[in-house]
Amino acid sequence: MITYAQEPLAGKRIGVLGDSYVRNHREPVENTWHYKFAQRHGMQYYNYGRNGNCVSVDLQRWGRAMVNRYQEMNDSLDYIVVIAGHNDAARLDSIGIDLFREKLTLLCDGLIERYPQAQIFFFTPWMRSEQAPEKAHFEQVVDAILEVCASRSIPVFDAYHHSNIYARSDRFRDIFFQNGRRDTAHLNARGHDRFLPVAEHFLLQYIQ
């Protein structure tokens, strides 16, 4: 059995930046897959999640956008995971895809410049229901994330198209989401446990 002393990631610093997917909405951060990933590998974990937060625009209720507040993160990080896009997609009528892409570009470039030795990763939001009126907005945001990150060699886990989270299913959300079928974003503890091996496999192919 590998101990923390033998674990190659032991002591490494991982910062997770994002919205309620990171803050974990109304449940403890300790239930999240990224916290459990860090604990499993003996890493120092920093959570920079804010409910309702956007990549691109400051909001009075939900705080400064990630493109601005990434500068509040720890100065020394080995790994950075960004989990974002949901709240921008929900407001895309007012934000516009061009502004989102511009601010996402600034965020990615800013992270690279501030943390040139760190490895950076991005996770997209979950799939939307075919009946959801904002589905097209989410697809635009996911496409922009894939495009901008690819042009900067930032690995992206496309949770919109390739995950084991069936967010379009009411019965699935009843089991794995915090508020059942009424919730389309926030995993409960069981949901995080389900996604952990998928996210872990994705990350470890780059960092081990």
What CATH homologous superfamily does 13-207 map to? SGNH hydrolase (3.40.50.1110)
Q: Which residue has the tokens 């939001």?
A: 125
Q: Which residues contact 197 (CB under 8 A, 6 or more apart)?
A: none
pLDDT in single tens digits along all 208 residues of the chain: 445 556 899 999 999 999 999 999 999 999 999 999 999 999 999 999 999 999 999 988 888 999 999 999 999 999 999 999 999 999 999 999 999 999 999 999 999 999 999 999 999 999 876 656 678 999 999 999 999 999 999 999 999 999 999 999 999 999 999 999 999 999 999 999 999 999 999 999 998 6
pLDDT, one tens digit per residue, over 5-45 is 568 999 999 999 999 999 999 999 999 999 999 999 999 99
Q: b/e map of 26-59 (b: 16 or more CB within 10 Å)?
A: eeeeebbbbbbbbeebbbebebbbbbebbbbbee
Both tokens assigned to 79: 């790994």
